[in-house]
Every structure is written in structure tokens, then in C-alpha cells.
């Protein structure tokens, strides 16, 4: 880090796996880079990041999973007069860490530490979602990697948290199987250019990855100024094996029952409120507009 950089880590100590434990056991090594702040409850990451910005920190590193990144990013963006001089860093301590994979952050903690010491910065696109009805969610939420409405958000909403503690990502699979047996409502997805496609699930990406190693938006880049969407026309349990195979082969976008869209803006609506998720957390309900901000996000990259 440069001498002018005032840095802090916002750490989720309950991140699943041994990485968070290893980080905290070696806190003295990391403390030479920046102050370590630990979250205690949901929402703490956003609160601590907003306070860090107010306290003059110019580099804030989210140490946890994608949910921690989401909270820290929204904390940085809470005061719109500051964000352009605040850099985001990502230390992957969660189980999936999709955004860290998109950034090509190293696997080992020691290699990540070297990335932060070198402190190379790149300006990335900064998308956000805005909800029409504020009582259904905070009016504006920024995100780094991924959003979705329909089956995936309904599955997240239906997850049994005790099962998640025991089985991790498999809890989402079980919740998804329960949800897909219901009648799924249709979502209208309209691009900024006016094209409309209807479906029962919409995934929206800033980067190319979804769920870890799956490249579902093959044309996406964090710097292309665009959002990318997959609209699944009609989901049914009988199609799951074929969809799973296409997901593993990075060929979902090529299926006849999926439409791949690119735009600077998507408007999502439905006949009834449908949950919308960002980075694996439900943050509001449709209708919603998702677009790319005029502001660029400085991020530490390898």
C-alpha cells in the first residue's frame, strides 16, 4: 500500500470454512496492511464501511464471501460525495467468492496479501438496482457481480438456514427443487433499447461468472459498460438435468429456451411481487430497474 492510503479490513468472522479462522489467527501479519474490523450481525459490513469512509479510510477491503462484498460496497456508496476516492479490495474468505474469481484473486491468503501490498487499481463498472416501491426494499442497492429474479431468488428466500449451516450450497439446491414444483410467475424483462423477453427466471451479470466456476455470461466484462442477462423462458423440473449439463459446460446461453441479452439497463416487472436477489441475498421485490452507474468503482486487482 502507498503511504497515503489509509486501509481497513472488514471481516466476516463467521464465513464458512477455515479461511476466516486462518486470517484472524494471523491478524498481526495483516494488521501491518490495515486495521481489522469484525462484523457481528447482518448489516454490520455496510455500517462499518460507511463509518470507515467518514473516518477517512481510502481503501476498504471486504474479507468474507460475496455477501460481505455486497454490504461493504453499499457502505462505501452510502455517501455519494466520497466513493470516487475510496478503493474496494476483496479478500475471499467465503465458500464461493464469485466476484473474487472474476477479479482473478489468488487462492492462497499469502498471495492475496501480496496483491494488496502491490496495490494495483482498476476502475470497474458499478451497476445498481432501484426499486419502484421503497417499502419492498432499500430504494437503491449497488452490486459487483450478479443479481436475479424468479427461481433463484425464490430459492434463496426458501432456504432452511439450519440446512445451509450443515450442507452449504446443497441447501440452495434443495430449496430450488421445492420452489420449481410450484407455478412460477412470469417476469417481463425489457432492455433499455425496448426489447422485451418474458420468462420465469432472469439472471443479470456484471461479470461472466455465476455460482463459482460457471461462466454463464460469456461475453461479459467488468469494464464493458454493459449488463448481461439470461432469461429462462419456462422452468420445469423435467428440464433440470439438461439445464445442469448446459451450466457445467458453460452453454446455458446457447439453449433454445434461454435468451441472452446485453444492455445498459433492464426493467423487470411481474404480475405480483417477486423477490430480487443480489450476490445471494434477497434485497427487494419487483418491479425494479437495473442499470450501470455513471460512477466507476476503483478496485484492487492482481
Q: Which of 233, 235, 234, 241 is nearest to 180 (CA)?
A: 235
**281 and 262, same domain (yes or no):** yes
Question: Alpha-carbon distance 45 to 203, whole Å?
Answer: 25
**247 and 148, same domain (yes or no):** yes
Asked which of 83-97, 151-165, 210-224 is least confident by mean pLDDT, the reply is: 151-165
Asked which of 97-111, 214-228, 239-253 is least confident by mean pLDDT, the reply is: 239-253
**136 and 238, same domain (yes or no):** yes
Question: Alpha-carbon distance 147 to 131, whole Å?
Answer: 13
Beta bridge partners of 292: 127
Higher pLDDT, 208 or 151: 208
pLDDT above 70: residue 237? no
Higher pLDDT, 237 or 64: 64
**165 and 239, same domain (yes or no):** yes
Position 3 scores a pLDDT of 39
Q: Which domain holds residue 226?
A: 127-295
**107 and 133, same domain (yes or no):** no
Mean pLDDT over 214-218 rounds to: 91
Total count of domains within the chain: 2
Position 27 scores a pLDDT of 87
Asked if residue 178 lies in contact with residue 238, where contact means CB atoms within 8 angstroms, the answer is: no
**Three state DSSP letters for 68-85:** HHHHHHHHHCCCCCCHHH
pLDDT digits (tens, 9 = 90+) for 77-111: 987 665 567 999 999 998 778 999 999 999 899 99
Asked which of 100-109, 134-143, 288-297 is least confident by mean pLDDT, the reply is: 134-143
Asked which of 9-23, 27-41, 197-211 is least confident by mean pLDDT, the reply is: 9-23
The residue from 74, 97, 119 where one domain ends is 119
Asked if residue 299 lies in contact with residue 104, where contact means CB atoms within 8 angstroms, the answer is: no
Amino acid at each position: 500500500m502507498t503511504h497515503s492510503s489509509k486501509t481497513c479490513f472488514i471481516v466476516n468472522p463467521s464465513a464458512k470454512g477455515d479461511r476466516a479462522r486462518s486470517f484472524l489467527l494471523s491478524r498481526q501479519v495483516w494488521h501491518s496492511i490495515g486495521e481489522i474490523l469484525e462484523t457481528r450481525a447482518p448489516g454490520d459490513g455496510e455500517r462499518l464501511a460507511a463509518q470507515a469512509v467518514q473516518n477517512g479510510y481510502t481503501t476498504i477491503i471486504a474479507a468474507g464471501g460475496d455477501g460481505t462484498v455486497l454490504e461493504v460496497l453499499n457502505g462505501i456508496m452510502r455517501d455519494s460525495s466520497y466513493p470516487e476516492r475510496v478503493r474496494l479490495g476483496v479478500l475471499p474468505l467465503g465458500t464461493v467468492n464469485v466476484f473474487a474469481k472474476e477479479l482473478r484473486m489468488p487462492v492462497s491468503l499469502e498471495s492475496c496479501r501480496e496483491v494488496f501490498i502491490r496495490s494495483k487499481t482498476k476502475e470497474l463498472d458499478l451497476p445498481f438496482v432501484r426499486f419502484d416501491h421503497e417499502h419492498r426494499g432499500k430504494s437503491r442497492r449497488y452490486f459487483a457481480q450478479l443479481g436475479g429474479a424468479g427461481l433463484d431468488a425464490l430459492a434463496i428466500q426458501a432456504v432452511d438456514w439450519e440446512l445451509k449451516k450443515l450442507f452449504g450450497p446443497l441447501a440452495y439446491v434443495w430449496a430450488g427443487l421445492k420452489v420449481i414444483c410450484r407455478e412460477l410467475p412470469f417476469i417481463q424483462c425489457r432492455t433499455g433499447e425496448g426489447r422485451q423477453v418474458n420468462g420465469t427466471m432472469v439472471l443479470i451479470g456484471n461479470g461472466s461468472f455465476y455460482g463459482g466456476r460457471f461462466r454463464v455470461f460469456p461475453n461479459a466484462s467488468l469494464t464493458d459498460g454493459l449488463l448481461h442477462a439470461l432469461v429462462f423462458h419456462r422452468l420445469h423440473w423435467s428440464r433440470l438435468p439438461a439445464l445442469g449439463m448446459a451450466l457445467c459446460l458453460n452453454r446455458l446461453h446457447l439453449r433454445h429456451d434461454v435468451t441472452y441479452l446485453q444492455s445498459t439497463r433492464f426493467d423487470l416487472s411481474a404480475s405480483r411481487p417477486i423477490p430480487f436477489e443480489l450476490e445471494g441475498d434477497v434485497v427487494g421485490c419487483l418491479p425494479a430497474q437495473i442499470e450501470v452507474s455513471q460512477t466507476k468503482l476503483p478496485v484492487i486487482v492482481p
